[in-house]
Chains A and B, each alone.
Chain A
């Protein structure tokens, strides 16, 4: 479904990621593991068109997408749920969700249905629907970010560190929700530092180090890999 072929991205002279190749198949949950600054977020920003690549190719459903603008990429079905959430803080929860459905704005009925689905998945958002997004707690903002992404009916969702800054109990709920979204048909590419939780729901994973992929394999393989255990699981 999605294929990165030797992708290199530079900030000035510094290469943030070098020769990254990875694939995501339809229906999978694939996780990118790695420390801060290893290149996970850059990979996501590049897929969604916010960063330009210096070399390589990105192919989504047999089409090259790396020269397309971010809004075209959303229209094609890739939605990026950013680490810093990028919500519209002064708008209400409902207005944020409405804008999430921007690419489907001509289809009012669909937007209404999607919004109901989001409220079913995260009932707390319905309670807070008229509150400004900026007033929500961290966990609620993350739910809103995921909800807003779902409004676009993505084929592939890029989820950047959904567990960052959340209490352990909320993290568990968050991963359950992600699994549910995947079961309902959305392919998920996930970046996480919480390797334990991420590998427990993912099919496969890639491990980043200094902008390169150093290890890849199924969740089971990564879980049993000595170095991965030492670096990211801590046991």
Chain B
């Protein structure tokens, strides 16, 4: 949400190109995330995990109210230089949508390689699994926490900025995304990149098929019906076992 507003403001107020606006937005949201880590999550590092989550919801409400104060509650539209329509076979699709798909896949692969193949990625995983253990092998946990938040913020900015031209920009634009991300995490298992990808595709296809065969009006409900069903029968998540290999 913040990422989308920053990209939009760069484009409308300063006339900066879409792509450059996104890059600036990645940095700004990344830095905001790092500040939030220092101000909110760092003091809570010894607290029970539920307090982090409550704090995160607090930040969400705060940022939304802030966005409403600065940019107002209206729906805003983001233009894109990539609105050409491309026809492949019998399919017509806008260039923007193709860019979203390609960027999403690229970012996923890069993130996965980063986590699996680099020491920095490994130290992020290590810290998630045992913070004291990470300290004891010599990982600077403060630095890693800040880098993790920067990456998280940057990724959020990319996602928001890319999807804004096909949706709309408004303070509550992230709600549906967050809830769907929650469904995907439950499907794919916490902390598993392949699980998240698989979960994402399952949700996407279920929605698309539901929209076609049941009704487009029920599209967004399908995610939450899935959520209720999964939490009822497999509260630990569908792929949680296999993915903890």
Contact = CB atoms under 8 A, between A and B. Distances in A.
Nearest to A81: B136
A89 B126 CA distance: 9
A75 to B, nearest CB: 6
Given A99-B123, A105-B119, A74 B132 contact: no
Contacts of B123: 99, 102
Contacts of A87: 130, 133
Contacts of A149: 136
A102 B141 contact: no
A193 B125 CA distance: 33
Interface in A43-70: 48-50, 69-70
Contact of A69 (B125, B132, B140, B191): B140
Given A98-B122, A99-B123, A105-B119, A74 B244 contact: no
A218 B119 CA distance: 43
A139 interface: no
A99 B132 contact: no
Interface of B: 119, 122-123, 125-126, 129-130, 132-142, 191, 244-245
Interface string A62-93: 00000001110011000111100111111100
| Residue among B125, B130, B134, B140 with most chain A CB within 10 A | B130
Interface size class of A (residues with CB under 8 A): 20 to 34
A86 B137 CA distance: 10
A156 interface: no
Given A88-B129, A91-B125, A103 B244 contact: no
A82 B135 CA distance: 11
Contacts of A162: none
Nearest to B119: A105
A74 B133 contact: no
A86 B244 contact: no
Contacts of A75: 138
A148 to B, nearest CB: 7
B137 to A, nearest CB: 5
Given A99-B122, A132-B245, A48 B129 contact: no
A80 B134 CA distance: 11
Q: Among B134, B138, B245, which residue has the most Cβ atoms of chain A within 10 A?
A: B138
Which of A48, A88, A132, A148: most chain B Cβ within 10 A?
A: A88
Q: Which of B123, B125, B137, B139 has the most CB of A within 10 A?
A: B137
Contacts of A148: 137
A48 B245 contact: no
Contacts of B132: 50, 82, 86
B130 A88 contact: yes
